Amino acid sequence: MGKRVLIFGVNGFVGTFLVRELVSAGYKVIGSDLHEKCIISEVSAYYPCDLSDARGVLSLVSESNADYIVNLAAISSVGQSWRAPALTMRINVEGALNIMEAARAQETCVRVLLVGSSEEYAPKDGPLCESDPTIANNPYGISKATQECFAALYAKEFGLGVCLTRSFNHTGPGQNPAFVLPSWCRQAAEIEKSAKPGRVTVGNISVSRDFSDVRDVVRAYRLIMESGRAGEVYNVGSGRALPLCDLLETIKSFCPQPIEIEIDTALIRPNDTASVCCDYSKINKELGWKPKRKIEDTLREMYDGFVIA
C-alpha cells in the first residue's frame, strides 16, 4: 500500500490537481476541508475540519495516520486579506501552527509541507531568490512570512520535518474567475458566445507577473514534500515575468469578436508591485524541478473551457 498524504484545503483549486499528481505517483490521499463533502473522487477518505480548531486538527492528524501533511487551506486572496486581516492571520498562521503541533505530537515522523507566497518578498528589480528580504506589503504576505518564522522554529527546536514554498502566481482550468486570468478568459469567452463585440473589465494591466500552470506547481509540491530539506523554503515559479497587458492581448487573440478594454479602478490593489519574477534555481538544483508548460497554452485551455461551458 502506498504512503498516506493528508491534504488540508483539498476542495480548493490546487487541491484537485495535487490529488491527481499524488495518486498518479502511488500515494493514498486523505482529504479535509470546511465543506461536508469532498468534490474529488480520487480521495480515499475525507473529513471536514476547521484549521482554527486545534483539537479537531490533532484528532484528524492522529486518525489519518498520514506519512505526509500538505496544507493548502488559506485565505489566499490579497484583496480578501485586506478586507479581513484578523481572519487571514487566524487561518494562515494559527492554522499552520495547529498542523505543526499535531504533527509533532505523533509517535511516527510526519513530514509537513506548508505553502507560502511570493507576496512575502520585498519588491526587487529582477528575479527573486530565497535569500532576498521578505518584507510583505499586504496582510496575506505578512501572514505567510509569519508562518515561515514558526516553521523554522519548529524545524530547529523540535526537529519537525516541515518544508515550505514561496509559490508565485499559478493558474489553470477550474480556477475561480475572481482571479485575474480566469476572469479575463471567461469575459472574452462570453463575448465569443454572444457573437457580437464586447467589453472586458480589468484592473492594473501595467504590472508584470510570473505565472505558472498549476500542474507544474503541484509536481513541485510533491517533490518538496518527498525530498525537501526540513526548515527550507523553495521558490516555485516559471522564471518569466510577463506584462499583464501582454497576457490580456493573448486572451483577446483567441476571441473572433472585437473586444474593448475597460479599466475598473476598484480592481486595482493598493501598493501594487511593478514586477515579480521567480528565480527557481534552488528547487531545480536540489530536486530537479523545472516548469514544463507555457502559460500561453494554459490560457488557451482555460479560454476554450469557458467557451464550451
Of the pLDDT bands very low, low, confident and very high (cuts 50, 70, 90), residue 234 is very high
User: If pLDDT is split at 50, 70 and 90, which confidence band does 309 have?
Assistant: confident
pLDDT score, position 31: 98
- Dihedral sign (CA 99, 100, 105, 108): positive
Concatenated DSSP letters of 198-240: EEEEES--SSEE-EEEHHHHHHHHHHHHHHPPTT-EEEES-S-
> So what's the pLDDT on residue 167?
98
Average model confidence (pLDDT) for the chain? Answer: 96
Q: What is the pLDDT of residue 91?
A: 96
Residue-range domains of the chain with CATH: 4-170+212-236 (3.40.50.720), 173-209+240-276+293-308 (3.90.25.10)
Query: pLDDT at position 165, please?
Result: 98
Predicted pLDDT of residue 188: 98
Q: What is the 3-state secondary structure (H, E, C) of 58-98?
A: HHHHHHHCCCEEEECCCCCCHHHHHHCHHHHHHHHHHHHHH
Residue 241: per-residue pLDDT: 97
Percent of the chain at pLDDT above 70? 100
What is the mean predicted confidence (pLDDT) over 44-51? 96
| pLDDT tens, position by position, 190-217 | 999 999 999 999 999 999 999 999 999 9
Is residue 181 scored above 70 in pLDDT? yes
58/130 Cα distance (integer angstroms): 31
Would you state the pLDDT for residue 1? 58
Kindly report the pTM of this predicted structure: 0.95
